[in-house]
Amino acid sequence: MSMLARTARARPKTSNLDSEFARDVIAGLSARPKWLWAKYFYDDRGSELFEQITALPEYYPTRTELGILDARAAEIARFIPPGTALIEFGSGSTAKARIVLRAAAVAAYVPVDISAGFLNSEATRLARDLPRLRILPVAADFTTPFELPAAIRTRPRVGFFPGSTIGNFEPPQAAEFLRHAARLLGQRAHFIVGVDLVKDERVLEAAYDDAAGVTAAFNLNLLRRINRELGADFDLDRFRHKALYNRAQHRIEMHLESLAAQNVVLGDRVIPFTAGETIHTESSYKYTVESFQALAAQAGWSPAAVWTDPKGYFSLHALRLA
Ligand code: SAH
Ligand code: AVI
């Protein structure tokens, strides 16, 4: 038997160990402490589970931000000149964009998302509901350079980044992203960004560890994805979801904790876990209005307006380039 045949047989049919996903997973699981990029949560199932999270009683961010958008739609629309291309980063279900699209004279909507299948089905659904709107979906990782559609080249641009997805970056990477968005959106652009606020730890921890176990399923789905796409052999019953608020860093951390000492096989590697060892799968930073404005200022954005809800749980910022 040739070397080639032996190698091919040793690996499960579905694995693609040369992909960027594989390289990132191997690097993260070889690091101490172990960690994985949160952007990999979003395969089809991950996107569906995130949608379920947004409806949970404990997960206040979505309903709170939707409330702000509803209450302030007319004020937000003042930052969106007629004929604008609205570019949404991490568009998910497009539920929040729909409020903006109803209030402003947007000519083209560009939803950008890493979850390609979900993006396309949501764009199709939106096209059915708003047949006169030009919808130009872009399946891309917004942490790396990507092109906007040529069709919007001459249009004024407004960025939209709701959901506090910016909180899933480490603060230096958030500043880097804001700089990258400034270049992409151009000189006279506005950027509407949703940012979750620092609050009572019990409210935060419940939001990321719900009673129904949906957030746990969302977190564990990452291991399921690694098994399916990379042929690893994670036993999902031997890991558990853990969420805690790190007060010093103002962030919720999600982890997957190994319930026993065990080895996981990934390609030709064996990844050892001690009992209680965790993989850090997500940080969700919480800001104050001022601390977020200071971060945006590092990237050249100045505050144009900020709206919050009556409880002060969530903030929506309109930024302009200084
Ligand atoms: N904007 C929606 C969805 C937020 S969930 C809301 O506010 O409810 C985060 C979304 O960002 C998901 O749809 C996910 O697929 C997408 N996403 C996460 N990381 C990404 C990345 N690096 N590049 C592109 N999209 C990303
Ligand atoms: C997408 N992102 C802003 C969510 C958050 O709240 O950090 C992802 C999430 N993780 C667990 N629940 C929701």
Give the pLDDT confidence of 21-49 residue by residue, as tens digits: 999 999 999 999 999 999 999 999 999 99
50 lines ligand 1 (CB under 6 A): yes
Q: How confident is the model over 294-299, as a mean pLDDT?
A: 98
| C-alpha to C-alpha distance for 86 and 109, rounded to whole angstroms | 5
**Greatest CA separation for the chain:** 70
Collapsing DSSP to helix, strand or coil, 137 comes out as coil
Q: Measuring from atom 17 of ligand 1, which residue has the nearest CA?
A: 90
Per-residue confidence (pLDDT) for residue 14, from 0 to 100: 53
The gap from C-alpha 14 to its chain's centroid, in whole angstroms, comes to: 26
Mean pLDDT of the chain: 95
Q: Measuring from atom 16 of ligand 1, which residue has the nearest CA?
A: 90
**What is the band of 5 on the pLDDT scale with cuts at 50, 70, 90?**
very low
Q: Is the pLDDT of residue 8 over 60?
A: no
Per-residue confidence (pLDDT) for residue 82, from 0 to 100: 96
Per-residue confidence (pLDDT) for residue 92, from 0 to 100: 98
Q: Measuring from atom 5 of ligand 1, which residue has the nearest CA?
A: 92
The answer to whether the CB of 217 falls within 8 A of the CB of 253 is no
| C-alpha to C-alpha distance for 60 and 284, rounded to whole angstroms | 14
Q: What is the position in ligand 2's atom list of the atom closest to the CA of 61?
A: 6
- What pLDDT, in 10s, does the model give residues 95-120? 999 999 999 999 999 999 999 999 99
Per-residue confidence (pLDDT) for residue 322, from 0 to 100: 78
CA-based nearest residue to 231, from 34, 25, 48, 6: 25
User: What is the per-residue DSSP string for 278-316?
Assistant: EEEEEEEE-B-HHHHHHHHHHTTEEEEEEEE-TTS-EEE
Please tell me the pTM assigned to this model.
0.95
Q: Is the pLDDT of residue 2 over 70?
A: no
Per-residue confidence (pLDDT) for residue 161, from 0 to 100: 99
Per-residue confidence (pLDDT) for residue 78, from 0 to 100: 98
Could you tell me the CA-to-CA distances from 139 to 21, 191, 299 in Å, in that order?
16, 20, 25
CA-based nearest residue to 53, from 206, 205, 215, 194: 215
Q: What angle do CA 215, 242, 35 make, to 5 degrees?
A: 100
**What is the band of 15 on the pLDDT scale with cuts at 50, 70, 90?**
low
Ligand 2 neighbours (beta carbon < 6 A) = 53, 61, 163-165, 167-168, 208, 215, 282, 284
Q: How confident is the model over 276-290, as a mean pLDDT?
A: 99
The dihedral over CA atoms of 168, 170, 174, 176, expressed in degrees to the nearest 10, equals: -140
**What is the band of 143 on the pLDDT scale with cuts at 50, 70, 90?**
very high
| C-alpha to C-alpha distance for 139 and 157, rounded to whole angstroms | 19
**What is the band of 16 on the pLDDT scale with cuts at 50, 70, 90?**
confident
8-state DSSP, 136: -
Structure tokens at 158: 């407004």
Give percent of the chain with pLDDT exceeding 70: 95
Structure tokens at 314: 């969530």
